[in-house]
């Protein structure tokens, strides 16, 4: 595995440029014992050699996408200042950069006005969205599909908001009839639509959910932590395309720049369409600064201290790769999706494998064939191990029988079934997909 290191020299140059901005300050001495530092840093590198997962295209398991060099370098560059984006006063430039970067994401979804900010990740972002929704519809339920991210249920516990899971159809999408049944009973304040579920990449039927919103009136939250950037991809099937095109009609959106936005971890984003929800955040802290008349980020976020570095990295990435359809960034997403379709096609054509869900984004689900649910589950785990021994890393995911019982004529001796799952999130996966298939083929010869 080789790391991209060429770009590192630019950091030195950029750091000197940054330092020039502080030249009128009196000099300070830096007391760094470089020998000791070097020894520890090399020990750190030695220790990290054991890290798994890692950023190679043959890691095709869980969601993992390396940050782009521009994000890595901008993040590191900002550490010489270590801005804190809890307030304009914690990082003047980095807070302004956050506002621009977040406005760009809102504009991608077609929103001119918005209230939003970056935060630690999708979980924190969803928590804010659910918290605000709970304030708008006090005492009412949050509902999300059974395939929604598991944290929604847990977050509603933290927020003391009742929660109900809505069953999914055979494509792992929220079942509309089941949703309407629950809406008819009343008491629902928030519907979470997942655009790109974490396990399968399934896209909930947003246009139909929006129709139900007209009749039943609720806060519509779109959890697009993983899938949001696919808004830009030009190779979605029409059903997913239509859903993404309607994101603009949501009340709140969560998207994770640290999932598909080429950012290091620690970068989630929450957006509200109606800026007046800012009123719920009101606090009266005696120790945050109020030197600026402008609403500062700490006034519209639940977290206080946050890494300004994340905002600087995202801002720089958006400069290099504008989020526009047909350009480099969106082409990267299209490549991952194409890789997923190519791989899925191989499985479909090969009787040693079972498939059911065509990928809606860039996640592929498949299983080694077998006579029963228990045999398939066992084979999936054996396959996972055997592939890992060849340095091809997959993931195992468990699903309810209801998702596959129409498609797979097997003995359903268990209610759950373990399948294999690959997130082909890297643009490089497209160039590696045939290589990956060759390894899968070798593993299949031995294990199925």
Give the bridge partners for 119, in sequence order.
Answer: 268
User: If binding is defined by CB under 6 A, does position 268 make contact with ligand PLP?
Assistant: yes
Assess 202 for contact with ligand PLP (CB under 6 A).
no
Residue 109: strand, helix, or coil: coil
Short-list 90, 99, 119, 72, CA closest to 266: 119
Indicate whether 257 belongs to the interface with ligand PLP (CB under 6 A): no
Residue 149 near ligand PLP by CB under 6 A: yes
Hey, what are 30's tokens? 């830096």
198 binds ligand PLP (CB under 6 A): yes
Q: How many CB atoms lie within 10 A of CB 125?
A: 28
- Cα separation, 204 vs 372, in Å, equals 29
Q: Which part of the chain contacts ligand PLP (CB under 6 A), choosing from 81-89, 218-226, 295-303, 314-322?
A: 218-226
Give the C-alpha separation, 298 to 425, whole Å.
Answer: 33
- Least distance (Å) between residue 310 CB and ligand PLP: 12
Min CB(223)–ligand PLP separation in Å: 5
> Is residue 61 involved in binding ligand PLP (CB under 6 A)?
no
* Beta carbon nearer to ligand PLP, 116 or 368: 116
By CB under 6 A, residue 121 contacts ligand PLP: yes
- Which H helix or E strand runs over 423? strand 416-423
Interface with ligand PLP, residue 173, by CB under 6 A: no
Determine if 204 is a binding residue for ligand PLP (CB under 6 A): no
Q: Quick one: tokens of 146?
A: 């059974």
Pairing of strands 188-194, 141-145: parallel
The residue from 163, 226, 229, 231 that contacts ligand PLP (CB under 6 A) is: 226
Residue 422's CB is within 10 A of a number of other CB atoms, namely 29
Question: What distance in Å separates the CA atoms of residue 69 and residue 29, rounded to the nearest whole number?
Answer: 30
The answer to the question of residue 230 lying near ligand PLP (CB under 6 A) is: no
* Minimum distance, C-beta of residue 65 to ligand PLP, in the bound complex (Å): 12
Angle at alpha carbon of residue 260, lines to 259 and 265, rounded to 5°: 35
Which span (53-61, 91-99, 222-230, 312-320) binds ligand PLP, by CB under 6 A? 222-230
Residue with tokens 């519907």: 191
Residues 150-169 as x/- pattern, contact with ligand PLP by CB under 6 A: -x------------------
Q: Which of 122, 261, 336, 370 binds ligand PLP (CB under 6 A)?
A: 122
50 three-state secondary structure = coil
Residues at the site binding ligand PLP, with contacts judged by CB under 6 A? 121-123, 126, 149, 151, 194, 198, 223, 225-226, 256, 259, 268
């Amino acid at each position: 595995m080789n790391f991209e290191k060429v770009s590192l020299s630019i950091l030195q140059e950029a750091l000197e440029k940054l330092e020039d901005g502080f030249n009128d300050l009196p000099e300070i001495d830096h007391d760094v014992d470089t020998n000791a530092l070097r020894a520890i840093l090399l020990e750190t590198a030695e220790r990290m050699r054991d890290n798994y997962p890692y950023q190679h295209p043959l890691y095709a398991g869980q969601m993992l996408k390396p940050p782009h060099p521009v994000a890595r370098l901008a993040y590191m560059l900002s550490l010489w200042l270590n801005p804190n984006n809890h307030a304009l006063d914690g990082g003047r430039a980095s807070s302004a950069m956050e506002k621009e970067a977040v406005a760009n994401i809102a504009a991608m979804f077609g929103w001119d006005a918005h209230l939003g900010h970056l935060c630690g990740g999708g979980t924190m972002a969803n928590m804010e969205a659910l918290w605000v929704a709970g304030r708008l519809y006090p005492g009412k339920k949050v509902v999300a599909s059974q395939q929604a991210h598991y944290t929604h249920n847990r977050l509603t516990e933290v927020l003391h908001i009742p929660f109900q899971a809505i069953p999914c159809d055979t494509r792992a999408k929220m079942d509309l009839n089941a949703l309407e049944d629950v809406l008819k009973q009343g008491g629902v304040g928030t519907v979470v639509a997942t655009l790109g579920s974490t396990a399968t990449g399934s896209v909930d039927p947003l246009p139909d959910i929006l129709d139900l919103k007209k009749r039943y009136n609720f806060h519509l939250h779109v959890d697009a932590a993983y899938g949001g950037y696919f808004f830009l991809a030009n190779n979605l099937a029409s059903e997913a395309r239509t859903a993404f095109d309607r994101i603009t009609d949501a009340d709140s959106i969560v998207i994770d720049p640290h999932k598909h936005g080429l950012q290091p971890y620690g970068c989630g984003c929450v957006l509200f369409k109606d800026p007046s929800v800012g009123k719920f955040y009101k606090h009266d802290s005696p120790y945050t600064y109020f030197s600026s008349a402008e609403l500062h980020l700490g006034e519209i976020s639940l977290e206080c201290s946050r890494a300004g570095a994340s905002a600087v990295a995202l801002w720089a990435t958006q400069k290099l790769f504008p989020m526009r359809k047909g350009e480099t960034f969106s082409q990267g997403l299209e490549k991952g999706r194409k890789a997923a379709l190519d791989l899925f096609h191989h499985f479909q054509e090969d009787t040693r494998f079972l498939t059911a869900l065509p990928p809606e984004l860039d996640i592929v689900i498949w299983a080694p064939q077998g006579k029963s649910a228990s045999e398939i589950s066992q084979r999936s785990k054996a396959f996972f191990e055997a592939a890992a021994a060849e340095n091809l890393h997959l993931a195992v995911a468990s699903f309810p029988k209801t998702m596959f019982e129409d498609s797979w004529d097997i003995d359903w001796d268990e209610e759950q079934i373990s399948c294999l799952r690959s997130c082909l999130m890297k643009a490089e996966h497209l160039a590696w997909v045939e290589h990956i298939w060759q390894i899968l083929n070798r593993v299949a010869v031995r294990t199925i």
